[in-house]
Chain A
Amino acid sequence: MAEVNERANIKLPVYLDNQATTPTDPRVVEAMLPFFTKKFGNPHSRSHAFGWEAEEAVEAARSEVASIIGADPKEIVFTSGATESNNLAIKGVARFYEDRKRHIITVQTEHKCVIDSCRALEQEGFEVTYLPVRPDGLIELDVLVDAIRDDTVLVSVMGVHNEIGIIQPLAEIGALCRERGVFFHSDCAQAVGKIPLDVNDMKIDLMSISGHKIYGPMGIGALYVRRRPRVRLRALISGGGQERGMRSGTLPAPLCVGLGAACRIAQQEMPAEAERTGMLARRLYDGITSQISDVILNGDAEKRVPGNLNLSFAYVEGESMMMAVKDLAVSSGSACTSTSLEPSYVLRAMGVDRELTHTSIRFGIGRFNTKAEIDYAVETIVDHVGRLREMSPLWEMVQEGIDLKSIQWSEH
């Protein structure tokens, strides 16, 4: 009976897209509210208490952000989000050192904004190496070692992958980069607050942080910029000289406070939360795979962030699958590219079969998901995959023993 009641309380659609964005934690909202209305000063106003009060709150938030990655508050630059942080880190460092070094290394499966920043630099005459990944999504360290050149200025590898949730070996990469005198940038938008990170242990020189991926507000992020040994960069947004000249523009005090609160909560609750979301992900995976066959987990099974599952369902059509599971807010890949029908470039780089890239679903389980929601998701997926396979000529062909790989697929 309890279960029925709990089931009846599920709010539809069930939100399982926490890698696209997370709901803002009510505690974060509460921390932010006074700074919209009562404490509304411009933190750069040096002439009155309104400004000082805002500045004090911004600096406290800066310390909270620094703390979760083991950094010094002076090494934190607030930005409008992780996309800006990634742009600033990659373009900013490359442009600052362009007289001496003109080569950058990144990975084929990085977030679009890392890839596009690198593409922009290629147009400016920089050379970029895009490392391949193994079928499990991880990079091969030997391949990275071979790619580093005397004129390599920066290696950019993300911490936790936004689509497939795998965790790259940051400490190993950091050690390699430090040894070769190359700066190491990591897009940790999906990693902060989900896995333990320490910029010194991992020898990370620049790290991108997002607010809205860690139950903080949208419109705010940060870039960690190491001071010893010092990393310098050319600003993308210039003007008032805020953030020690690295990022001009009035700091949005409520958003900074929100990011700080989100980091503080994440730091306190990370161990318990990781265990809980990991348990829910296992429940989802076991629930689905115990009832239907031909479900493929994309990305390494062990080295992945708790809460993420990226599954491909063979023999169903991707678009019909997404339509069918409309009571689940999930995505077929990254949110930024989800309006396009292109299959995921990430899965393709991993060598996932083309037909399977069309039927992948990313489940992002977060802080506010419940067991009942996961059970509902299992039921929904099992029902619809079963139904779609009943209607699928592919499934029928497979049941008849035809090898689908022998078929020439037309582009669409």
Chain B
Amino acid sequence: MTATPPIYCDYNATAPVRPAAAAAVVAALEGLGNPSSVHAPGRAAWAVVERARCAVTSLAGAVSADVVFTSGASEANNLALCGIAGRRPVLSAIEHDSVLAAAPDAVLVPVLADGRIDLDALEAALAGSGRPALVSVMAANNETGVIQPVAAVVAIARRHGALVHCDAVQAVGRLPLAFDALDLDLMSLSAHKIGGPAGAGALILRQGLELLPQIVGGGQEKRRRAGTENVPGIAGFGAAAAEAAGEVAKIDRQAVLRDRFEAALGALAVVHGTLAPRLANTSCLSMPGVAAETQVMAFDLDGIAVGAGSACSSGKIATSHVLAAMGIARPLADAAIRVSFGWASRDDDVDLLVDAWKTLHRRVAGEAAQKSAA
């Protein structure tokens, strides 16, 4: 790494842990029992878990619902899709891999050019078959930040007797989002995307909804998810949730950073998803003619961390299924990187990022000019 403090602009991959969350984790690491044990250390651990459950409930606006703690959002998404029995999965084409892979036989609903789910196509997909469906639509996309019309999705789903699951991993803490008000059936959350520790997540579900556990043995989480609870992780999740809930109203600060970044690049960059409302912190943009891989490596040498698509596809950087679904042609899609800000982002980060981006652009443009001259 460079001598200057590195700059982190990849919050949609993971966020640095908030000091309050780290403190909660450390406190829980130092001597608590197993929450299922009936003795005092066990009860103390149980209380930590239940306090965190309240904080998560409150962040998600899910006072009427149950919170099932999981090892993370991938598990929560799998649990939602596999745990609701006998329903036909209907997914948007831009869902996270952990939703798509959990329901390989699902009907995929396309998105429009602006990145939002095609509601007419959803209606048609639901009207098609007699078997009731489980619709899964994310609240906001992890790559482009495009906000999905979840309320409209729920309204359509209700007309066809479908349940709705919403992967709210990227949206929670960044959007005013309420499980109860949206009348959702299931919602997935991740701790490490909101400044909590990795290794904790939650599936929120409507009370009374039957869910088949995918991990069995031991009656934890009301028999919906066996295994000793990750008490420190859950404690950190709770602390992060409490802070994140207070920041939704101040999210414009991140929009200011993001907008300044995009404005400084002007016509040099092609920004994706701008035709629809986006998360305030996310910018998915192409440097035409320069492969995403080249860009992220160049920025890394400058000590700036950005993302190329989703961080999850382990190994290679593949063409984004999200940009493809929006009809963005390959050369441009392959030149897209993701810049995402978060709770610890500073004004200076934007200036340095702009400088780095423009420097790379000039260099590549210069090389191209030399090549064509030669």
Interface residues in chain A, defined as those with a beta carbon under 8 Å from any beta carbon in chain B: 13, 15, 17, 20-21, 23-24, 29, 32-33, 36-37, 40-42, 44-51, 79-84, 86-87, 111-117, 119-120, 212, 217-220, 236-242, 248-255, 322, 326, 328-331, 335-340
In the assembled complex, B226 has its CB within 8 A of some CB on chain A: yes
Contact of A20 among B36, B310, B315, B337 (CB under 8 A): B36
If A80-B230, A217-B232, A219-B71 touch, whether A13 touches B40 (CB-CB below 8 Å) is yes
Q: Would you call B313 and A252 a contact (CB within 8 A)?
A: no
If A17-B33, A237-B74, A241-B314 touch, whether A219 touches B217 (CB-CB below 8 Å) is no
B150-158, B300-308, B358-366: which lies at the A interface?
Answer: B300-308
Which residues of chain A have C-beta atoms less than 8 A from B315's C-beta?
A: 46, 241
Q: How far is the CA of A117 from the CA of B299 in the complex (A)?
A: 47
Look across to chain B and name the residue whose beta carbon is closest to the beta carbon of A330. B39
Contact of B78 among A120, A218, A236 (CB under 8 A): A236
In the assembled complex, B10 has its CB within 8 A of some CB on chain A: yes
In the assembled complex, B238 has its CB within 8 A of some CB on chain A: no
Contact of B199 among A29, A80, A82 (CB under 8 A): A80
Q: Would you call B216 and A113 a contact (CB within 8 A)?
A: yes
Which residues of chain B have C-beta atoms less than 8 A from A51's C-beta?
A: 13, 305, 311
Q: Would you call A337 and B96 a contact (CB within 8 A)?
A: no
Look across to chain B and name the residue whose beta carbon is closest to the beta carbon of A255. B199
Contact of B296 among A48, A114, A212, A239 (CB under 8 A): A48
In the assembled complex, B58 has its CB within 8 A of some CB on chain A: no
Q: Would you call B198 and A252 a contact (CB within 8 A)?
A: yes
Q: How far is the CA of A84 from the CA of B218 in the complex (A)?
A: 11
In the assembled complex, B331 has its CB within 8 A of some CB on chain A: no
Chain B, 191-226, contact with A by CB distance < 8 Å: what is the 0/1 string?
Answer: 010000111100000000000001111111000001
A37 → chain B closest CB, angstroms: 6
Which residues of chain A have C-beta atoms less than 8 A from B255's C-beta?
A: none
Chain B, 286-300, contact with A by CB distance < 8 Å: what is the 0/1 string?
Answer: 000000010011011
Which residues of chain B have C-beta atoms less than 8 A from A36's C-beta?
A: 17, 21-22, 25, 197
Look across to chain A and name the residue whose beta carbon is closest to the beta carbon of B16. A40
A189 → chain B closest CB, angstroms: 10
Interface residues in chain B, defined as those with a beta carbon under 8 Å from any beta carbon in chain A: 1, 6, 8, 10, 13-17, 19, 21-22, 25-26, 29-31, 33-34, 36-42, 70-75, 77-78, 96-102, 190, 192, 197-200, 214-220, 226-233, 293, 296-297, 299-300, 303-308, 310-315, 317, 337
23 A-B interface contacts by CB (under 8 A): A13-B41, A40-B17, A42-B10, A47-B293, A47-B297, A49-B305, A82-B227, A112-B217, A113-B215, A117-B217, A238-B102, A248-B97, A249-B74, A250-B14, A250-B190, A250-B192, A252-B71, A254-B198, A255-B197, A255-B230, A335-B36, A336-B228, A337-B219
Look across to chain B and name the residue whose beta carbon is closest to the beta carbon of A13. B40
If A20-B34, A36-B25, A113-B226 touch, whether A254 touches B197 (CB-CB below 8 Å) is yes
Which residues of chain A have C-beta atoms less than 8 A from B304's C-beta?
A: 48
Which residues of chain A have C-beta atoms less than 8 A from B26's C-beta?
A: 29, 33
Q: How far is the CA of A42 from the CA of B14 in the complex (A)?
A: 6
A373 → chain B closest CB, angstroms: 14
Which residues of chain B have C-beta atoms less than 8 A from A252's C-beta?
A: 71-72, 192, 197-199, 233
Look across to chain A and name the residue whose beta carbon is closest to the beta carbon of B23. A36
Q: Would you call A218 and B14 a contact (CB within 8 A)?
A: no
Q: Would you call B41 and A87 a contact (CB within 8 A)?
A: no
Given contacts A47-B306, A238-B78, 9 further A-B contacts (CB under 8 A): A13-B40, A29-B30, A46-B311, A87-B214, A212-B34, A218-B228, A240-B312, A252-B233, A338-B42
Which residues of chain A have C-beta atoms less than 8 A from B229's C-beta?
A: 218
If A20-B42, A37-B22, A49-B1 touch, whether A83 touches B312 (CB-CB below 8 Å) is no
Contact of B311 among A42, A87, A115 (CB under 8 A): A42
Q: Would you call B98 and A239 a contact (CB within 8 A)?
A: yes
If A45-B14, A248-B97, A329-B33 touch, whether A80 touches B75 (CB-CB below 8 Å) is yes
Which residues of chain B have C-beta atoms less than 8 A from A87's C-beta?
A: 214-217, 226
Look across to chain A and name the residue whose beta carbon is closest to the beta carbon of B25. A36
Q: How far is the CA of A45 from the CA of B311 in the complex (A)?
A: 5
Q: Would you call A120 and B305 a contact (CB within 8 A)?
A: no
Q: Would you call A50 and B72 a contact (CB within 8 A)?
A: no
Q: Would you call B228 and A81 a contact (CB within 8 A)?
A: yes
Q: Would you call B228 and A241 a contact (CB within 8 A)?
A: no
Q: How far is the CA of A46 from the CA of B305 in the complex (A)?
A: 10
Which residues of chain A have C-beta atoms less than 8 A from B102's C-beta?
A: 238-239
Q: How far is the CA of A336 from the CA of B220 in the complex (A)?
A: 8
Q: How far is the CA of A239 from the CA of B299 in the complex (A)?
A: 28
If A23-B31, A237-B98, A248-B98 touch, whether A47 touches B41 (CB-CB below 8 Å) is no
Contact of B305 among A47, A322, A339 (CB under 8 A): A47
Which residues of chain B have C-beta atoms less than 8 A from A217's C-beta?
A: 29, 230, 232
Q: How far is the CA of A329 from the CA of B36 in the complex (A)?
A: 13
Q: Would you call B98 and A24 a contact (CB within 8 A)?
A: no
Q: Would you call B29 and A17 a contact (CB within 8 A)?
A: no
Q: How far is the CA of A220 from the CA of B199 in the complex (A)?
A: 8
Contact of B13 among A45, A248, A335, A337 (CB under 8 A): A45
If A45-B10, A250-B198, A326-B39 touch, whether A237 touches B306 (CB-CB below 8 Å) is no
Which residues of chain B have C-beta atoms less than 8 A from A335's C-beta?
A: 34, 36-37, 42, 228
Most buried by B among A47, A115, A338: A47
Which residues of chain A have C-beta atoms less than 8 A from B192's C-beta?
A: 42, 250, 252
B30 → chain A closest CB, angstroms: 7
Q: Would you call A236 and B317 a contact (CB within 8 A)?
A: no
A233 → chain B closest CB, angstroms: 14
Which residues of chain A have C-beta atoms less than 8 A from B29's C-beta?
A: 24, 29, 32, 217
Q: How far is the CA of A331 from the CA of B230 in the complex (A)?
A: 20
Contact of B74 among A239, A329, A330, A331 (CB under 8 A): A239
Q: Would you call B42 and A83 a contact (CB within 8 A)?
A: no
Q: Would you call A239 and B78 a contact (CB within 8 A)?
A: yes
A239 → chain B closest CB, angstroms: 3
